[in-house]
Amino acid sequence: MAIKVAINGYGTIGKRVADAVSLQDDMRLVGASLTKPSFKAVRAAEEGYDIYVPAGQEKAFGGMKIKGSISEMIGACDLVVDASPEGVGEQNRALYRKAGKKAIFQGGEEHELVQASFNANANYDAAKGKDFVRVVSCNTTGLCRTLNALKPFGIENAYAVIVRRGADPGDSKTGPINAIIPETHIPSHHGADVQTVIPNLPIVTAAVKVPTTIMHVHVISVRLKRQAAEKDILGAFESENRVMVVESGMGLKSTAEIMELARDMGRKRSDLYEIAVWKESVNVKKGVVYFMQAVHQESGVVPENIDAIRAMFSLADREKSISKTNKTMGIR
Strand partners of residue 246: 278
Positions 21 through 80 that interact with a second copy (CB under 8 A): 36-40, 42-43
Q: Check residue 294 for interaction with a second copy (CB under 8 A).
A: yes
**Single residue of 20, 51, 214, 275 touching a second copy by CB under 8 A:** 214
88 scored as a contact of a second copy (CB under 8 A):
no
Residue 200 sits in the site that holds a second copy (CB under 8 A): no
DSSP annotation of 115: S
Give dist(CA 284, CA 223) in Å, integer.
9
User: Are 328 and 24 a contacting pair, CB within 8 Å?
Assistant: yes
For a second copy, which stretch binds (CB under 8 A), given 72-80, 134-142, 282-290, 323-331? 282-290
> CB 78 → a second copy: shortest distance, Å?
26
Q: State which of positions 224-263 bind a second copy (CB under 8 A).
A: 246-248, 250-257, 259-261, 263
How many angstroms from the chain centroid is the CA of residue 192? 17
Residue 144 is a catalytic residue? no
Measured from the CB atom, the residue of 26 and 260 that comes closer to a second copy is: 260
By CB under 8 A, residue 152 contacts a second copy:
no
Query: Any residues with CB less than 8 A from the CB of 63 and at least 6 apart, and which?
Result: none
In three-state form (DSSP H/G/I as H, E/B as E, the rest C), the secondary structure along 253-314 is CCHHHHHHHHHHHCCHHHCCCCEEEEHHHCEEECCEEEEEEEECCCCCCHHHHHHHHHHHCC
Determine if 213 is a binding residue for a second copy (CB under 8 A).
yes
In terms of CB distance, is 79 or 224 closer to a second copy?
224
H-run or E-run covering 100: none
Listed ranges 76-84, 100-108, 148-156, 175-183: which one lies at the site for a second copy (CB under 8 A): 175-183
